[in-house]
Chains A and B, each alone.
Chain A
Amino acid sequence: MTAEQRRPAYARAFIAQARSDWQAYRVLEQAELPVCHHLHYLQMVCEKLAKAYRLRDTKAPVDELVATHSGFSKFISAFFTAVLKDEYVGKTLQLGLLIQRSRKLAREIEKLAPALDRAASPENAEYPWERDGSVIAPCDFGFSALSLLRQSGSRAFLKLVHRALDDFESVTLP
């Protein structure tokens, strides 16, 4: 397989897995389980989604893109600029607030990845961590920074994720 064939093949695989993770997230969100489980899936959706968009269209080496972390919070602004701009004509203020809120949530969701900055921010959705002399399991932790997700205004963020999953084929380069 050449690099030109591998890049779109990986992109398709990452978006397929992100969509499947999204379905799992929706099931877990409704289940009577600790919040860490659905947040773990949401974090995986966001990371794979950003990776799929990066992979399909850039000139960067495929293996580097597959192996490195892709920042979902950096993806948000690009997606608004390139895809959603037309839908917010005359609604600059609302859009500005939505971007701000989405960035904040994206940042909190990125922190859920266990591999990311464990020293500064050990809380994650997957593995236990130590804080102030106690060892804490994700299933016993409230993830209050992400309680925002349950508020009605933040549903827009989840719609944004859903939209980016749905629109992948139409808004990326052929």
Chain B
Amino acid sequence: MAPTKDEAARELAAWHFGVEPYLERVIRILAENEDEPGEPIKLLEVNGATVATGNVEAFAFAPSKSLPFPITIAEVTPEEFERIARHELPLPRGWSLENSEQFPRPRAA
């Protein structure tokens, strides 16, 4: 059975923690129209292994067999995330931390 959008987002975050040792947390951004079919799963990933670029670059991908939802992913350093939280670094248009779901790094990952 195909996963629900919520399940797919959780599985993706869990999988990514497994392969990225410096991934600190994954934040799923929820839109007002999150239930609309074309609305992508939007993940903001805080990764100590990435490079600061001073902006939040979101890359979007089409649905696939195992992930039947469009997905948009942006990766930032922990320092960039602090700037986002202080509203010094803007998120992509339509993204907000106000309406989001946090996936902290599991202890065993």
Q: Number of contact residues on B: which range applies?
A: 20 to 34
Contact B73 A81 (CB under 8 A): yes
- Specify which chain A residues have a CB less than 8 angstroms from the CB of B94 in the assembled complex: 59
Contact B20 A82 (CB under 8 A): no
Contact B57 A173 (CB under 8 A): no
Main secondary structure of the interface of A (DSSP, over half): helix
Contact B60 A57 (CB under 8 A): yes
Contact A99 B60 (CB under 8 A): no
Decide if B85 is an interface residue (CB 8 Å cutoff). Answer: no
Given contacts A86-B65, A171-B61, A172-B62, contact A59 B92 (CB under 8 A): yes
19 A-B pairs besides A74-B75, A88-B19, A99-B20 with CB distance below 8 A are A54-B57, A54-B59, A58-B92, A60-B93, A70-B57, A71-B57, A73-B51, A74-B50, A74-B74, A77-B47, A77-B73, A77-B75, A78-B59, A81-B16, A81-B71, A96-B18, A171-B64, A172-B60, A172-B62
| Interface residue ranges, A against B (CB under 8 Å) | 50, 53-54, 56-60, 68-71, 73-75, 77-83, 85-86, 88, 92, 95-96, 99-100, 103, 107, 110, 170-174
16 residue pairs from A and B, CB less than 8 Å apart: A58-B92, A59-B93, A59-B94, A70-B57, A73-B51, A74-B50, A74-B53, A74-B57, A77-B16, A78-B61, A81-B12, A85-B67, A86-B65, A88-B19, A99-B19, A173-B70
